[in-house]
Amino acid sequence: MSYSVIKGAGYILVHVPGMVMHHGTTQTTEKVVNPGSDYLKELPSHMRSYEDCLAYPPNQTYIGNLPIDDLAQIPEPWADKKVEKPERFGKFGEIMPEDEFILLMQACDVFDLVRLDKKFVAKTLPKLKEHPLMNENILALIKEGDEAAEIKSAIEDGAEALIFADKAVGYVKRAHDVDVNLSAHVMFENLVSKASEVLSVLHLVKNAGIDAADVDYMIDCSEEACGDMNQRGGGNFAKAAAEIAGLVNATGSDTRGFCAGPAHAIVEAASLVKAGTFKNVVVAGGGCTAKLGMNGKDHVKKGLPILEDCLGGFAVLVSENDGKSPEINTDIVGRHRVGTGSAPQAVIGSLVTDPLAEAGMTILDVDKYSPEMQNPDITKPAGAGDVPESNYKMIGALGVKLGQMERTQLPAFVKEHGLKGYAPTQGHIPSGVPYLGYARESIMSGKTKNAMIIGKGSLFLGRMTNLFDGISFLVQANTKKDEKKAAAPAVKVPVIGIAAAGYELDPQNLVDAVEFAANKGCKAVIIDGEDCHAKMEAMLKSGEIDGAVTSHYPFPIGVSTVGRVVTPALGKEMFIACTTGTSSTDRAEAMVKNAIYGIIAAKACGIEEPTVGILNADDARRCERALLKLKENGYSFEFAESCRADGGHMMRGNDVLRGTPDVLACDPLTGNLMMKMFSSFNTGGNFEASGYGYGPGIGGNYGKLILIISRASGAPVIANAVQYASQLAASNWLKISGEELRKAQRAGMNDILEEMRSEGKHAFEKPAAKVKAPAKETVTVDIHGVEVTDIDAAVESLWEKGIYAESGMGCTGPVVMVNEAKAGKAEEILKEKGFIA
């Protein structure tokens, strides 16, 4: 089914200095706690005129008159800069003056709560009638007005004043005598949000060239809530705004998520359209009076004008695929899960690198990122810095950590993939969506191919949870036009580079390996000369090669390689995880991660349900306990059973030789030794003649397909490594990697590993006092699963409970031996104390 598309966008600002002074929470709070403050005295002299607001460069960018790239060329700060010949109307929307907006508020009031001064109406209505989008239906909702004395009396009686040019020109009254949810203050905020949303939708309908009657669903994603004492946030802003905007065939609902609300709403809209439930869905959000002048104290202190003097609004139309508009790729959606945590790396990973990795992409594959697009003129004086730039640096830094680019590329990444912030600090308004209008234009013109929209929100503000929140989605060039191409396009054969760094055997082996690989249907090229690793990196980055085979490559911590051998007893292939690299500095944790990396490699090579065995070595039992917990928590995989009579998940020498498991989890030093023995035992150790080499580096979101071979590898091994790399590239191994790691994380892998680290290898200490063994009994039952380093502590813990026990060493490792009659109780004690799983 085709993806839904962005059919159009509308963006509006409303200059409301009167509302800044009397309804922004920074000012209203100051009036209560410090009514005579210097800030309140100085504030009026820092308010901007409508003309200054209109000429402010970021405002002109927001409505589409000043391209983002042009804004970036204007030296910061912009507060003292003006655009020559600024226009009220732009290609996306407009900057409306406060007096006209007050009339629009009354037009949006269907309960006669907004009353206006008749002289004010008489003076302002002719201006509004000139507005190109104000039709007769809207204008008919504006009443003649009341006498000034009536306005004054109502305000003195508790109504919320509507102030224009320092004069009360109307009021909003309460909608219920005792219900605080319908107080004059709440109704004022909600009508402001509704009216600014209506204005946004009107511009959207014009910009998208759609008949308003063709919209069949609307989603509001503002930050206000409407309802009464029985359902404080019952809604419905969406349907209320749709009514005034003339969307006569639309139904709708409200979506809330603090600043992440718009991104959530657009993903919902895209899904509704893709599913065929609705054809045209509008997502819109109105402005927020509470945030007006939010950073005013810092601006006044630094001699700046009050820059937060505008309400913001936006509207986006999500429609069925028309074959030309940019698509919302709902297969590439990042999301901050309940278990993600709030660490910056975890947040950026969940929203950016994780969804990209699942799609086989890196951060460099996205042309532009749009996170919180807040205007740095506003945030820097308040100490919050340049918010968009900080986001780009975090994305880039994670890319560096994952090996997707070099640290020296970070400044260029910020410049090339980032955007200058220009949106008002209206909470949800700057959160990713301001760029959608520009993104649509850029993608349709071919200037860029895609953009990632990132919405983030702080849920603690509602005092229901301390969790962070966020969601992202990818907007891309339309692909529907490609669907009618040939039914059976030629399958691209991956190109694999062979970087001959430090190769010790006859170079003819490399030439032979290319030929052998070609006989297997694979394509390889030799990368030689000085600094061939740098050449290899450049070719990978440019896409000239899809993967590489090389030797002695430095992988970052967290990445390890998965080797592939042919076992001698039965000729069965087996993946050894791992053979080089360091997935973790803790051996047991590394073995757990290696098991998952091995599953990834095996699945990418066509084994749908690979079995996992654990090499019977130090920390094997700790690894087993962790894998068992993962399995219990829902991570689906199957353990291999030892070929020995007593079975179990521990793989002995017989199992290794026979290839009992598909994936053998072990530590890298042991894995490296086994790789060398498997690969070179039939040459007496002179060179490696069998197998597929030490395999690809896998871990986290590591995005380079680089496989390791020994410098003493013969042509057959090199050719097999090329085949291994080709299989991984063709199967989209990065997507498989992302999916598997996601599954493991959802099963609590991070918590399990953290618990393992906190316990430590020697977590089980002997009792402080010397424990005397109970009377000796015949011990005939072996209890397996205790680490050798914990065996004495395990025995003494049973002595403490009056159970005689001895330690011993069985074929599978250390055992605790007890009397058959007490075996059940002994196991319960050892499980309770954490010695066995």
- If phi > 0 it is left, if psi is from -120 to 50 it is alpha, else beta; for residue 785 that is left
Q: 266: closest CA among 393, 125, 452?
A: 452
Residue from 310, 532, 643, 811 carrying the catalytic annotation: 811
- How many CB atoms neighbour CB 74 within 10 A? 15
Q: How big is the CA angle at 503 (ends 502 and 505), to the nearest 5 degrees?
A: 145
Are 453 and 436 in contact, with CB atoms under 8 Å apart? yes
Q: Which residues contact 237 (CB under 8 A, 6 or more apart)?
A: 190, 193, 194, 197, 220, 222, 224, 226, 254, 286
Distances (CA, A) of 49 to 15, 35, 305: 9, 25, 10
Task: Give the DSSP H or E segment for 116.
Answer: strand 114-116
Q: What are phi and psi of 431, to 5 degrees?
A: -80, 75
- If phi > 0 it is left, if psi is from -120 to 50 it is alpha, else beta; for residue 813 that is left
* 236 burial type by CB count under 10 A (0-12 exposed, 13-18 middle, 19+ buried): middle
Query: Quick one: DSSP state of residue 258?
Result: G
3-state secondary structure (DSSP) of residue 374: strand
Q: 415: closest CA among 400, 401, 396, 436?
A: 396
Distance from C-alpha of 5 to C-alpha of 242, rounded to nearest angstrom: 21
- If phi > 0 it is left, if psi is from -120 to 50 it is alpha, else beta; for residue 748 that is left
Are 120 and 99 in contact, with CB atoms under 8 Å apart? yes
- Is the four-CA dihedral 263, 266, 270, 276 of positive or negative sign? positive
- Is the four-CA dihedral 512, 523, 542, 556 of positive or negative sign? negative
Active site residue 666: no
- Is the four-CA dihedral 239, 243, 244, 248 of positive or negative sign? positive
Residues involved in catalysis: 811
